Amino acid sequence: MLRWLRTLIPAIALVWMSCGIHAADDFAPLRAKMINDIADLTAETFAATGRPAIDPRVLDAMDQVPRHQFVRPGEERDAYENRPLPIGYGQTISQPYIVALMTDLMMIKPTDVVLEVGTGSGYQAAILSTLARVVYTIEIIEPLGKVAQERLQRLAYKRVNTTVGDGYYGWEAHAPYDAIIVTAAASHVPPALVRQLKPGGRIVIPVGAPFLTQYLLLITKANDGTVSTRQILPVSFVPLVGH
């Protein structure tokens, strides 16, 4: 009996793994279409962004991360459409093109330490974790932060560290950062984030009032500490909560 069980258990595990792989592969065509949509929009917005193409490393990350795992039940097949989706508490998961563009603008290296303000569903953090050495992400809405933490752990994104708090003030304990991303629109660039950015680092942040024109900004800090700002393109984000 024991010998029979020892033979059966690996077989069951193999079937379970095969079913899991098949389920994941069901979304492969949708991911491929998402990548193509991102490439098309990147070409269309080249004049504004100055980015003729998204870094292949970023596209590969977006092809690896199962976006359908980061949306609400019943909306899995909508996850790969180029539009934001609600995730509860008045928050959204950003559209794939904007995720790709913001990540590309950060120019992340494999050795980088990255801060994300606004964990949301955890999708952006998962993307960042495939590119950086370590990711710190902070969410002010506690239920969202807890669900994102559990999801990231379940999906084995081990390079992501989460916390609940007001991201307007950054995460001083792990500063300075090579790159910082803010996934909600602030009325201005938070001074704490500029302070916590390494010389040579970049901040990508949407700035503007809710329901009015917002712009995606690229903030760079030179080696001498000088800060410069470049306006990329108009965007629409939910407002940054807190402070």
Q: Which amino acid is at 24?
A: A
Q: Which two tokens stand for residue 86?
A: 């609600």
Return all residues near 218 (Cβ < 8 A) that are at least 6 apart: 105, 202, 203, 204, 229, 230, 232
CA distance 215 to 188: 11
Tell me, what DSSP letter sits at residue 209? Answer: -
Active site annotation includes 94: yes
Catalytic residue among 18, 94, 121, 129: 94
Our separate counts of H helices and E strands in the chain read 8, 9
Give 33-73 as a DSSP string.
HHHHHHHHHHHHTHHHH--SS--HHHHHHHHHS-GGGGS-T
CA distance 36 to 62: 12
Q: Which residues does the annotation mark as catalytic?
A: 94
